[in-house]
Amino acid sequence: MTDTAAPEPTSAPPAKKGGGLLKSSMIYSGLTLVSRFMGFVRDLAMSYRMGASATPAADAFATALAFPNLFRRFFAEGAFAAAFVPAYAKSLQDDGEEKADVMAADAMATLAAATIIITVICQLAMPWLMMLISPGFAADPAKYKLAVLLTQITMPYLPCMAIVAHLSGVLNARDRFILSAGAPVLLNIATLAFILPQSDPIDAAVWGSAGVVVAGVAQAALLVWGVNKSGAKVHWRLPRLTPEVKALIGKAIPGALAASATQVNIFISGNLASHVPGGRTWLATADRLYQLPLGLVGVAIGVALLPRLSRAVNTGDGDDAQSAMDQAIALALAFTLPAAAALVAMPGFLSDGLYTRGEFTAFDASQTASALFFYGLGTPAFVLQQLYSRAFFARGDTKTPMRFALISVAVNIVFGIVLFRMVGVKGIAAATAIASWLNVGQMAFTLWRKGHYGPSGQTWSRVARILLASLGMGLILAAASHWRPLIEAPLEAMGLRGRVIGAKELALVLTVLVGGGLYFPLLFLFGGVKPSELKAALRRGKAT
């Protein structure tokens, strides 16, 4: 069902079973794929226009995106949204649409007011806050001043995204995923449109920051329209701290760190990397590459999983709760493990083939590759964090994962400082991966100990088989990366060297296509997924 469907009757959305989760995830992932592709094009434009270590523009722009995005992750992929969706779904089921929509409107008003206040305070205090965000910039006054300006420009993106996240929760709880998945496309289009016409790196950074804010306003307007078309009556009003809103805030505060541990760790990593010219940009570029599978799979399944899991918990359907988690983990890892294998097997091939052009040098690409290798090792953990946190949130428990997230952040700080001093920027990425795996281990063990969830024997077997197929593909990609000159030589002989899409770019595309083409036969061969099961799942998804 689309976001623009006719209004639902005043009853709770039906609890969907396995095929529904697959269908919802496929819709969300498909639209997220479009958004991520546009984001990738935007990233290419950013690296081409701003570079990394050669100019201050890229590091300053990365900071300007990172700070409001830290808050955005709290509200969008964790915290308030994670507390709101189960509460709204329960209210739809128990109280009907009218009362549920009143609660949603009160929550939105409170959220908008809070984020506007945060935005104004941060804008005024940014000249001093920057010492906490990127202390390494203090050694370069021009970079420091530029970072302050750009972050002040991008901060209004925060209230826009808080509203978008909240209204996405309203739509997701009603099993409508199209607009919430498609809205990020506007950010990529607007930023791209503002950056590309600029030839100077500083101008590109300033105009790119303005494009972020324009996109935020457009996204918020789109979601307001979508909610109105869905039949939900979530109207603007003055903030009211009703008992329901207070309960949401009480769950959202501990959930802020619980659902956003990865982003907090990345923010801390950027803080450390600011001491190296280009360091923030190297980490941000590597981050965007591994965020592709995370965005396509982990967030997509996690967003689609939470409403179904919440309904299963609320109705006492333990079998469906178990099935939802089993299916989500198997489906997520079927796509995430091969992506992680590719990031680990050919980080240099990826970073050089994608980014080395314009202001982005070969040295920048090699430093990005070093970080990408360790982010690849952590990618499955980044995805599993999204899924396991949903199992807690669906039961109204945000405090337990908060404690684990705080431990994860502390571990990341300690390992980040130690490894950064030992091996440089790549040590920061390694620390993030270590902290994320620790967080996953704590959540998984606690869910099992409390009897809430433990992967079934069939799920463990499937994960092992998926891992074997991914390792097989990874070995092939590693060999291709090693013999890269032999792949590029015939393409260069065809006169493709030096073009925008030249030998190295085509060699990378061919290698990725071959790797992807071999993965699924290996997956079927090892029995991770049977072709008949995949076809049956797709039929269930279409029938739901």
Q: Averaging pLDDT over each range in 18-22, 96-100, 171-175, 407-411, which range is the top one?
A: 407-411
Inform me whether the pLDDT recorded for 453 exceeds 80.
Answer: yes
Confidence of residue 390 (pLDDT cuts 50, 70, 90): confident
396: left (phi over 0), alpha (psi -120 to 50) or beta: left
Inform me whether the pLDDT recorded for 461 exceeds 50.
Answer: yes
Residue 345 is encoded by which pair of tokens? 């097997």
Confidence of residue 256 (pLDDT cuts 50, 70, 90): low
- pLDDT value, residue 174: 74
SS (H, E, C) 45-56: HHHHHHCCCCCC
Q: Which of 434, 440, 472 is nearest to 342 (CA)?
A: 472
278 or 528: whose pLDDT is higher?
Answer: 278
Interatomic CA distance for residues 182 and 190, integer angstroms = 14
Reduced to 3 states (helix: H, G, I; strand: E, B; else coil), residue 364 is helix
SS (H, E, C) 133-182: HCHHHHHCHHHHHHHHHHHHHHCCHHHHHHHHHHHHHHHHHCCCCHHHHH
- pLDDT value, residue 208: 94
Contacts of 508 (CB under 8 A, 6+ apart): 349, 350, 353, 354
Residue 101 is encoded by which pair of tokens? 């929509």
- pLDDT value, residue 244: 80
**Residue boundaries of the structural domains of the chain:** 1-7+56-259
For residues 461, 466, 468, 471, the Cα torsion angle rounded to the nearest 10 degrees is: -150
Q: Locate tokens 């802020």: which residue?
A: 256
Interatomic CA distance for residues 526 and 305, integer angstroms = 27
What value does the mean pLDDT take over residues 516-523?
88
What value does the mean pLDDT take over residues 105-132?
91
Confidence of residue 202 (pLDDT cuts 50, 70, 90): very high
Task: Please state, in angstroms and as integers, the Cα–Cα distance from residue 162 to each residue in 145, 223, 226, following that order.
Answer: 27, 11, 16
Chain centroid to Cα 533, Å, comes to: 28
Amino acid of residue 343: L
351 or 182: whose pLDDT is higher?
Answer: 351
- pLDDT value, residue 83: 73
DSSP letter at 295?
I
Please list, residue by residue across 414-446, b when 16 or more beta carbons sit within 10 angstroms of its beta carbon and e when fewer do.
ebbeebbeeebbbbbbbbbbbbbbbbbebbbeb
Q: Residues of the chain with pLDDT > 90: what percent?
A: 27
Residues 185/167, Cβ–Cβ less than 8 Å: no
Interatomic CA distance for residues 213 and 525, integer angstroms = 48
Inform me whether the pLDDT recorded for 498 exceeds 80.
Answer: no
Q: Residues of the chain with pLDDT > 70: what percent?
A: 81
What value does the mean pLDDT take over residues 310-338?
80
Residue 44 is encoded by which pair of tokens? 């290419």
For residues 143, 145, 149, 154, the Cα torsion angle rounded to the nearest 10 degrees is: 40
Q: Which of 459, 472, 457 is nearest to 520 (CA)?
A: 472
Look over the chain and give the mean of its residue pLDDT values, rounded to a whole number. Answer: 80
Give me the helix-helix angle, 157-173 and 201-230, nearest 10°: 30
SS (H, E, C) 296-341: HHHHHHHHHHHHHHHHHHHCCCHHHHHHHHHHHHHHHHHHHHHHHH
pLDDT tens string 364-388:
899 999 999 999 999 999 889 878 8
- pLDDT value, residue 10: 30
- pLDDT value, residue 270: 82
Interatomic CA distance for residues 273 and 344, integer angstroms = 21
- pLDDT value, residue 476: 92
**What is the DSSP annotation of 2-66?**
-TTSPPPPSSPPPPP-HHHHHHHHHHHHHHHHHHHHHHHHHHHHHHHHH-SSSSSHHHHHHHHHH
275 or 29: whose pLDDT is higher?
Answer: 275
Q: Which of 10, 420, 84 is nearest to 247 (CA)?
A: 84
Interatomic CA distance for residues 536 and 193, integer angstroms = 42
**What is the chain's alpha carbon radius of gyration, rounded to the nearest angstrom?**
23
For residues 205, 206, 209, 213, the Cα torsion angle rounded to the nearest 10 degrees is: -160
What value does the mean pLDDT take over residues 20-42?
68
Q: Is the pTM of this model over 0.75?
A: no
Q: Which of 72, 268, 48, 56 is nearest to 148 (CA)?
A: 56
Confidence of residue 6 (pLDDT cuts 50, 70, 90): very low
Bridge partners of residue 360, in order along the sequence: 357
Residues 384/440, Cβ–Cβ less than 8 Å: yes
Amino acid of residue 387: L
Reduced to 3 states (helix: H, G, I; strand: E, B; else coil), residue 242 is coil
What value does the mean pLDDT take over residues 324-353?
88
